[in-house]
Amino acid sequence: MEQPLEPAVIRFSHCQKVIFCFSLPEQCPSCGEELRGSRLQEAPVSLPSPLTSAHKTSCCLLVAPAHDSKDKDVDGMSDLHTGISSTKGVVYNYTRNGVCRDLTGWERCVSVPLVRPDMFHLLAQWDQYLDRFSDGPMWDPAWHRFDEDHHNCFSFCLGFINGVLAMEGRSSLSRETFTHTFILPKMRRVSKYTTLYQHIQRHRFYLVDRQEDTQEDTQEDTDLSRVQFHKDSLDSGH
The more confidently predicted of residues 2 and 31 is 31
Residue 210: the pLDDT is 82
What percent of the chain is modeled with pLDDT above 70?
Answer: 80
Categorize the per-residue pLDDT at 4 as very low, low, confident or very high, splitting at 50, 70 and 90.
Answer: low
Contact 153, 84 (CB under 8 A): no
Contact 173, 159 (CB under 8 A): no
The more confidently predicted of residues 25 and 211 is 25
Residue 149: the pLDDT is 85
The more confidently predicted of residues 85 and 15 is 85
Contact 178, 158 (CB under 8 A): yes
Residue 77: the pLDDT is 45
What percent of the chain is modeled with pLDDT above 90?
Answer: 55
Q: What are phi and psi of 234, to 5 degrees?
A: -75, -25
Contact 47, 223 (CB under 8 A): yes
Mean pLDDT over 68-86 rounds to: 66
Of 181, 164, 186, 167, whose CA–CA distance to 76 is shortest? 186
* Each residue's pLDDT tens digit, 116-175: 999 999 999 999 999 999 999 999 998 899 998 889 999 999 999 999 999 989 999 999
pLDDT score of 101 more than 90? yes
Cα–Cα distances in angstroms (integers) from residue 190 to residues 51, 117, 131, 196, 234, in the given order: 7, 24, 30, 10, 17
* Each residue's pLDDT tens digit, 52-64: 999 999 999 999 9
The more confidently predicted of residues 69 and 3 is 3
Domains of the chain: which residue ranges? 9-47+200-235, 54-173
